[in-house]
Structure 1
Amino acid sequence: MISIITPVYNGEKFIESCLQVVIDQNYLEVEHIILDGGSSDKTVDIIKEKANQYPHIRWVSEKDRGQSDAINKGISMAKGQIIGVLNVDDFYEPNVINRVCNIFKFLPEPSLIVGNCNILNQQDKLISINKPNRLQTLSLLLERRVNNGTIDASFPVNPSAYFYHKSLHEKIGLYKVEEHYVMDLDFLLKAVSSSHVKYFNETWGNYRYYPGTKTFDDSARGNSLSRIKQLFDDYIKTLSLMEQWQIWIARNMNFILLKIFYFYKYPERLPESIRQRLTKYSQTY
Structure 2
Amino acid sequence: MVYQSFPLVSIITPSYNQGKYIRETIESVLSQDYPNIEFIVVDGGSTDDTLSILKEYSHIEERFRFISEKDRGQSHAINKGLAMTKGEIIGWLNSDDTYLPGAIRKAVEALQRQPDLAIVYGKAYTIDENSQKISDYYVAPANFNQLFDGCMICQPAVFIRRNVFLEVEGVDESLHFCMDYDLWIRIAKKYPIGFVPYAFANARTHNTCKTSTLWNTVGIPEILRTSVKHYGTISKTWLLAYQSHHGYKGITGLLHYLRDQSTLDCLPTVTNMNRYEDLWVPPRFTFTVETDLRCPVNSILIKGKIPPESAPFLPLHYKFRFVVQVDGQPAGSHIVGSTFLLNIPVQPIMKEKFEMEILSSFFLTDSDKRMISFVADEVIPLSLEESNVFKSISSSSVFLKIG
Under a length normalisation based on structure 2, what TM-score does the superposition of the two structures give? 0.55
| Structure 1 residue aligned with 2:152 | 155
Q: Which amino acid aligns with 1:72?
A: N
- Return closer, same or farther for 1:122/1:18 CA change in 2, 3 Å cut-off: closer
Shift of 1:170: 3.4
SS at match of 1:225: helix
Shift of 1:128: 2.6
| Structure 2 residue aligned with 1:168 | 164
| Structure 1 residue aligned with 2:21 | 14
| Structure 1 residue aligned with 2:279 | none
- Alpha-carbon separation, structure 2, partners of 1:237 and 1:250: 11
Shift of 1:131: 4.1
- Which structure has more relative contact order (CA 8 Å, sep 6+)? It is 1
Q: Is the 8 A contact 2:16 2:46 kept in 1?
A: yes
Q: Is the 8 A contact 1:171 1:194 kept in 2?
A: no
Q: Is the 8 A contact 2:128 2:205 kept in 1?
A: yes
Shift of 1:224: 2.8
Listed one character per residue, the Cα deviations across residues 173-217 of structure 1 (whole Å, up to 9, x for unaligned) are 111112111111111111112222111121111001121112211
Shift of 1:8: 0.5
Q: Does 1:125 align with 2:132?
A: yes
- Alpha-carbon separation, structure 1, partners of 2:55 and 2:199: 31
Q: Does 1:42 align with 2:49?
A: yes
Q: Is the 8 A contact 2:107 2:121 kept in 1?
A: no
Q: Is the 8 A contact 1:134 1:140 kept in 2?
A: no
- Alpha-carbon separation, structure 2, partners of 1:133 and 1:86: 20
Shift of 1:110: 5.6
Q: Does 1:229 align with 2:224?
A: yes
Q: Is the 8 A contact 1:109 1:165 kept in 2?
A: no
Q: Is the 8 A contact 2:25 2:99 kept in 1?
A: no
Q: Which amino acid aligns with 1:169?
A: F
Runs of 4+ residues deviating >4 angstroms: 248-255
Shift of 1:251: 9.1
| Structure 2 residue aligned with 1:55 | 62
Q: Which amino acid aligns with 1:26?
A: D
- Return closer, same or farther for 1:213/1:131 CA change in 2, 3 Å cut-off: closer
Listed one character per residue, the Cα deviations across residues 16-46 of structure 1 (whole Å, up to 9, x for unaligned) are 2211111111322000011011112221221
- Alpha-carbon separation, structure 1, partners of 2:396 and 2:143: 19
Partner of residue 35 from structure 2, selected from 3, 13, 28: 28
- Alpha-carbon separation, structure 2, partners of 1:195 and 1:21: 29
CA root-mean-square deviation: 2.8
Shift of 1:156: 1.2
- Return closer, same or farther for 1:109/1:31 CA change in 2, 3 Å cut-off: farther
Q: Which amino acid aligns with 1:188?
A: W
Greater Cα radius of gyration, structure 1 or 2: 2
- Return closer, same or farther for 1:250/1:93 CA change in 2, 3 Å cut-off: farther
- Alpha-carbon separation, structure 2, partners of 1:31 and 1:227: 32
The structure where strand makes up a greater share of residues is 2
Under a length normalisation based on structure 1, what TM-score does the superposition of the two structures give? 0.76
SS at match of 1:35: strand
- Alpha-carbon separation, structure 2, partners of 1:135 and 1:120: 23
Structure 1 unaligned regions, length at least 5: 144-153, 259-285
- Return closer, same or farther for 1:249/1:139 CA change in 2, 3 Å cut-off: farther
SS at match of 1:128: strand
Partner of residue 105 from structure 2, selected from 74, 79, 98: 98
Q: Is the 8 A contact 2:92 2:156 kept in 1?
A: yes
Partner of residue 185 from structure 1, selected from 181, 202, 206: 181
Q: How many residues align?
A: 241
Q: Is the 8 A contact 2:175 2:222 kept in 1?
A: no
Q: Which amino acid aligns with 1:234?
A: K
Q: Which amino acid aligns with 1:127?
A: I
Structure 2 unaligned regions, length at least 5: 1-7, 234-383
Q: Is the 8 A contact 2:177 2:218 kept in 1?
A: no
- Return closer, same or farther for 1:113/1:251 CA change in 2, 3 Å cut-off: farther
- Return closer, same or farther for 1:31/1:69 CA change in 2, 3 Å cut-off: same
- Alpha-carbon separation, structure 1, partners of 2:30 and 2:212: 28
